[in-house]
Structure formats: C-alpha cells, structure tokens
Amino acid sequence: MSRIGKKPISVPAGVNVSVHDAVVTVEGPKGKLAYTHRPEVQVHYDEAKRLVTVAVLGVDRPARAYHGLTRSLVQNMVLGVVSGYEKKLEIVGVGYIASIQGETLSLRVGYATKSTKKVPAGLQVTCPDQTHVVIRGCDKQLVGEFAAEVRAIRKPEPYKGKGVRYEANMSRSSRARPRPEPGRCGGRVRAGAVTRAWPHPVWPRTIDRAKTVNKQKEIGRQKQRRKFRVRNRVRGDAQRRRMCVFRSGNTRRLPVD
C-alpha cells in the first residue's frame, strides 16, 4: 500500500468536493476541476470531517501505483482551486520579446517570423514586460504543459543562455565556479616556482623548474643507453654472432633448385 495514498486530504473551507461515478469534482474560489480516476482505486469524501480518502481495490503493482497517483492528483486539485499555480518564464537575447494579443501569445526569439501560441481556456497569461511571461491557473498540469510548450519554441542554449527559460533557473553557462587567484595554491607560492595556466581540473599546480629539467635530462640518458644496448646486440662480438634483422615486407621465398 502506498504511504502517500494512505494520507487523507484535508479540504479547506470554501471548497466543495463531490464524487460520482468515478468522477471527482472540486470547486473553489479559483475555479472548478474534474478528474476521472482509474477503476483500480476508490475515492471517498467525508463531508462531516471534510476529508478525502483514496483506497486501493487491487494488490498488484499497477493498482498500488495508481493509489498514490490518484491521491496526489486530487491534492493538486484542492490546492489549485484555493491558491492556484504559477509559472514564470524569462526571455533572454538581443531583440527577443514577448507580447499578448487577445488570446494569443506572440514571441520573437530570433526566427524569421514571430511564433504564436494560443492560450488554452482556464489559463491567465500576462506579460509584465517584454522579456517576462507569467502563466497562472488552477490546473497544475495545464499550467506546466503550456509553460513547457512556450519554452520549447526556443530552449536556452548552454553557452550564453539565450532563449526562453524558467525564471530563476541558472543555465549551464552561469553555473561556473569561482576561480581562485592565479598563481596561488593553498595560499602560498614557493620562490622560483612556475604555475600552470588556468583552467585546471582542480587547482593550479606549482612546478619546480629545476626538477623538470633534471627529469628531462634523465629521460634523454635512458633513451641513449637503450639505443647503445640495441646497437651492440645487432652488431655482435667475438663470442656472439651478429644478429640478423629482417623486415617482414622485404622477405621473399627463394626458388628451390
């Protein structure tokens, strides 16, 4: 049994709830909503206690999933008719503007022609200025769906954040972490040390120039010793014959007499 589905829903004053033939109707100051629930669950409204309870009729996994889902949807309906829902969109870009013309939302977001979206019934769409759009309504699903459709016209790009985005939503480009002071690691810099140029995966590492030069010299000496060792093996000496080296591309089979 769902822990969310077992919780009763408290109905505030001024909200009317009715359940008839699997149709749950909620009416309040902000509007009226109706929802047809699944046959796997049962919704009951107690008028005396002003509580809505959801019961599950099956024991299989889908029925238990619909238990919590139905309870959440009814809770959203109750909250929607009391306080309503709101989505704010911000338009970022040079020359990007939005305007309301009757029941149509017009956007100019960098295309050759302006984009228009018809406002669905039950929503209130306003433009406080040319770069902001506010969507209000009592249906949470309708508010979120229309906001997503408007955002999909020009999604914010990750470099400069241009496009239509949810307000107070930081894009990938604006989440850059603060950079430390160049040339410092842990607050101290050794004398004669050279720092790597930023950016660096973690911190700018200090490099000792003398150690770096000595390491490069040692690598050169190792290469020289390896070359002499291979040359002596190929050349041979009095106790060991000269090594024969063939390339696979030059080997040919000689004819047999």
pLDDT tens-digit readout, 200-223: 555 555 566 777 888 888 999 999
Q: Give the 3-state secondary structure of residue 63.
A: helix
Res. 35: pLDDT tops 60: yes
- pLDDT at residue 173 in the model: 54
Answer for the pair 154, 107: CB distance below 8 angstroms, yes or no: yes
Answer for the pair 183, 189: CB distance below 8 angstroms, yes or no: yes
- pLDDT at residue 184 in the model: 47
Answer for the pair 83, 28: CB distance below 8 angstroms, yes or no: no
Q: Give the 3-state secondary structure of residue 125.
A: strand
- Whole-number average pLDDT of the chain: 82
pLDDT-derived band of residue 187, with 50, 70 and 90 as boundaries?
very low
In the numeric block, which tokens belong to residue 239?
Answer: 């106790």
Answer for the pair 107, 116: CB distance below 8 angstroms, yes or no: yes
Q: Tell which wins on pLDDT, 205 or 53.
A: 53
Fold of 85-174: Outer Surface Protein A; domain 3 (3.90.930)
pLDDT-derived band of residue 169, with 50, 70 and 90 as boundaries?
low
Q: What residue ranges do the domains of the chain occupy?
A: 9-82, 85-174, 179-248
- Digit-coded pLDDT (tens) for 77-132: 999 999 999 999 999 999 999 999 989 999 999 999 999 999 999 999 999 999 99
Question: Which range among 44-53, 153-162, 179-188 shows the weakest confidence by mean pLDDT?
Answer: 179-188
Question: Which range among 58-62, 134-138, 148-152 shows the weakest confidence by mean pLDDT?
Answer: 58-62
Residues near 252 by beta carbon (within 8 Å), at least 6 away in sequence: none
Residues near 76 by beta carbon (within 8 Å), at least 6 away in sequence: 140, 141
Answer for the pair 185, 203: CB distance below 8 angstroms, yes or no: yes
- pLDDT at residue 17 in the model: 94
Strands 16-20 and 9-10: unpaired
Q: CATH assignment of 9-82?
A: 3.90.930.12
Q: Tell which wins on pLDDT, 84 or 177.
A: 84
- pLDDT at residue 182 in the model: 47
pTM of the model: 0.64
Mean per-residue pLDDT, 239-246: 65
Task: Report the share of the chain in percent with pLDDT over 90.
Answer: 56
Res. 183: pLDDT tops 50: no
